[in-house]
Amino acid sequence: MRLVNAIKNGIVIDHITQGRGLTVYHELKLDTIENTTVLLMNVGSDHLNKKDIIKIEGDFHLNHEILGLIDTNITVNIIENEKVVKKIFVEVPEKVSDLIKCKNPRCISHTDDYARPVFTLVGQNGELQYQCSYCEEITKVKFK
Ligand SMILES: [Zn+2]
């Protein structure tokens, strides 16, 4: 277990809601990088409070927006020399650009390569709702 637990320098994505670890893993495209990564699922002895954890050894540019869209329970720990030097609480992003596609099929963003819509958070009632800056259509965001 020591190998799994200890990380010298890198990132620990902690408190992922149980069952969402794999989604986070795929959305961050961790299967395409060369860093040592560990995905731990169903961690914790308390039956009701199990969680998933992802550890990434070494340098990695973490996209916090993606995490915010998937799961706001997440806390990110930055590890240096085996110590937590920074703790980041993930929040739902107010504005998102590249991660969402407009659901309106006639939206200019689908046909014009230069039209890069900015989506603004307009609702988070159980699911996240983002409004397109071009056509004002509301797109619901759901990762699974
Ligand atoms: Zn649109």
Q: What pLDDT does 131 receive?
A: 98
Six token digits for residue 41: 């699922």
Which of helix, strand or coil describes residue 39?
A: strand
Residue 57's pLDDT is: 96
pLDDT of residue 1: 40
- Which residues make beta-bridge pairs with 87? 77
The pLDDT profile of the chain, 144 residues, written as one tens digit per residue, is: 444 567 899 999 999 999 999 999 999 999 999 999 999 999 986 767 899 999 999 999 999 999 999 999 999 999 999 999 999 999 999 999 989 999 999 999 999 989 999 999 999 888 899 999 999 999 999 876
pTM of the model: 0.87
Tell me how far the alpha carbon of residue 105 lies from the centroid of ligand 1, in angstroms: 8
Residue burial 34-73, b: 16+ Cβ < 10 Å; e: rest: eeebebbbeeeeeeeeebbbbbbbeeeeeeebbbbbbbbb
72 alpha carbon to ligand 1 midpoint, in Å? 25
Q: Where are the domains of the chain?
A: 2-89, 95-141
What class is the 2-89 domain? alpha beta
Mark the residues whose beta carbon lies below 5 A from ion ligand 1.
Answer: 102, 104, 107, 132, 134-135, 137
CB 129 within 8 A of CB 142: no
Domain 95-141 in CATH 2.40.50.180? The answer is no
Sign of the CA dihedral running 6, 2, 57, 88: negative
What is the pLDDT, as a whole number, of residue 59?
95
